[in-house]
Amino acid sequence: MKFYMTPGSCSTGIHVLLEELDLFFEVHLVDLMAGDNLKRDYLALNPRGSVPTLVDDEGQAHTDFQSIAVWLAERHPRRGLLPKDEPARTRVLGLLDYAITVVHGEGFTRIFVTERYATDAAERSSVEREGRALVARGFEQLERMLTGSLWVEREFSIADFALFYVEFWADRIGLALPARLDRHYRAMLERPAARRVLGEEGYHSTLRKYPATA
């Protein structure tokens, strides 16, 4: 498989998932700042020009977080990352979608790419404040959506990887997490796959901030 990713982006969540499944894949770095995602070859794989993109062994490109996560879970059913029980499956997919489309898409986007919302530099601080408020409200909602004692559901699932990357972003910008999300984030950081990925992507400061306890 070929995995197209940008360190520290939402693709970090898929990167951890791939490591968690102990899969062999070839990494292709996409430099968003340099516009790699808008080049013809990349757009041929992912017309949206976004990351992550995963090209499977048959050459099929999966071009968004949710479709990649669901595809991987269904390809590896013994890992139980997507519940068979319909109510639990619905909750997992609902939280996954909320983290991606609301917390990321509506909140963090305003923080990280304020120029999309304000062409006038003087207005950008207002847009960023709005983004932080949206993220904070989104985290309160995610806190209410958790049903497991530690993970999103009783068992570890693909939703935990989406939750992890937005928690990681909050940590990077100094935004406090609600208590249960903070506990979830710390538990994710205990997982060897997450620690390997953060080390590979260059986030050694996060690993030092949260040393493994086991």
Band the pLDDT of 118: cuts 50, 70, 90.
confident
Band the pLDDT of 122: cuts 50, 70, 90.
confident
Band the pLDDT of 93: cuts 50, 70, 90.
very high
Band the pLDDT of 108: cuts 50, 70, 90.
very high
DSSP string, 122-175: GGHHHHHHHHHHHHHHHHHHHHHH--SSSSSSSS--THHHHHHHHHHHHHHTTP
The mean pLDDT value for 12-34 works out to 97
- Indicate if the pLDDT at residue 178 is higher than 80: yes
State residue 167's pLDDT score: 98
- Indicate if the pLDDT at residue 214 is higher than 80: no
Query: pTM score, two decimals?
Result: 0.96
Band the pLDDT of 119: cuts 50, 70, 90.
confident
Give 90 or 149, the one with higher predicted confidence: 90
Domains of the chain: 2-79 (3.40.30.10), 86-191 (1.20.1050.10)
- Indicate if the pLDDT at residue 174 is higher than 80: yes
Q: What is the mean pLDDT of the chain?
A: 96
* Alpha helices, DSSP H, located in the chain: 11-20, 40-45, 65-75, 86-98, 109-112, 124-145, 159-172, 179-190, 192-200, 204-209
- Tell me the CA distances in angstroms from 103 to 10, 57, 79, 116, 138, one per residue in order: 12, 32, 27, 16, 5
Contacts of 109 (CB under 8 A, 6+ apart): 116, 131
pLDDT digits (tens, 9 = 90+) for 128-164: 999 999 999 999 999 999 998 899 999 999 999 999 9
Band the pLDDT of 120: cuts 50, 70, 90.
confident
The mean pLDDT value for 70-96 works out to 96
The mean pLDDT value for 33-56 works out to 96
State residue 121's pLDDT score: 78
- Tell me the CA distances in angstroms from 69 to 10, 15, 21, 81, one per residue in order: 12, 10, 11, 9
